[in-house]
Amino acid sequence: MTSQLEQLKTFTTVVADTGDIDAIRRYRPQDATTNPTLLLKAATLPAYEEQVKAALAFGKQYGRGSTDSLQYATDKLSVLIGKEIVSLIPGRISTEVDARLSFNTRATIEKAQRLIDMYAQEGIEKDRVLIKIASTWEGIRAAEKLEKEGIQTNLTLLFGFAQACACADAGVYLISPFVGRILDWYKKSTGKESYLPHEDPGVQSVSCIFNYYKGNGYNTVVMGASFRNTGEITELAGCDRLTISPALLEELENSTETLERKLDAANPQSTESKIAVSESSYRWDMNEDAMATEKLAEGIRNFAADQVKLEKTLTELAKA
């Protein structure tokens, strides 16, 4: 019998949401994505010991002062881990800009350009890399400029329809709406402990965005992310891409239940016309969407905190 994972791959491009080399080898995803949380875990794995040493040496060589050296080291580590992952996949690696730059358009652009230059130094062309940027207004503006420079982007921490509309308007390559975190918010807000897959607020959000994009001819790729269970994943079969953790990939691999296509780009279920987005309309719509506002802020804080933890880990490793 064909596993659900193999069935899913006939509808959807599967992306591994991990920096674990063994998991990537096992599940053979098309693409892979990392973030500060995953890099923090990867930095302590024996498989990446050489990359950590090389990153620290790079920081000492090119950094100007302790803080700058540390930032160079963390950037280099993310690139070296990305390089290792790229050698195992046919597609792209998503590498994230420091979340502390989420409200600084110019600094985001400069960081993205530096990461792309670092990849080039390692022999990795920019068409194998997506730069991950938080879906703030400032981040979306940075992505718009980067796309015009030929640097393609992955807009992450996306929770609300306003964010999705602004990203499509800006011509970004890919968005990552966070299914599970949306569900988390609604469970906490309503006190409802469980939802059927088709009633899951995160599933409904991604389905709405997917159908809006396809119904209006947007080329921006929709990649569902942050899943809490396989029901969310199977309910989004047919979405352009889904980035899935190793634990859930294993569940899908172990299941042989029949999987049906739920989303179809050739037959989008949407009558919503294109929505013009301005800064004021974006900010107002986000203000009206408590879930999106709260989860975006929380996500940025958490990624920033893990970035700091990563820097502290590298500092300790440098002393060892």
**What SS3 state is found at 259?**
coil
Query: Which residue out of 132, 214, 262, 295 is catalytically annotated?
Result: 132
Q: Which two tokens mark 80?
A: 């070296």
- How far apart CA 152 and CA 112 sit, in angstroms, is 10
- How far apart CA 156 and CA 231 sit, in angstroms, is 22
Q: Which of 89, 142, 167 is nearest to 131 (CA)?
A: 142
Q: Which two tokens mark 197?
A: 């897959």
Residue 316 Cα distances to 52, 59, 147, 199, 307, angstroms: 11, 14, 37, 46, 14
| DSSP 8-state secondary structure symbol assigned to residue 173 | S
Residue 103 Cα distances to 220, 249, 299, angstroms: 22, 34, 13
Burial class (CB in 10 A: 0-12, 13-18, 19+), 65: exposed
Q: Which two tokens mark 45?
A: 């794995």
- How far apart CA 177 and CA 21 sit, in angstroms, is 24
Active site residue 132: yes
Residues recognised as catalytic: 132
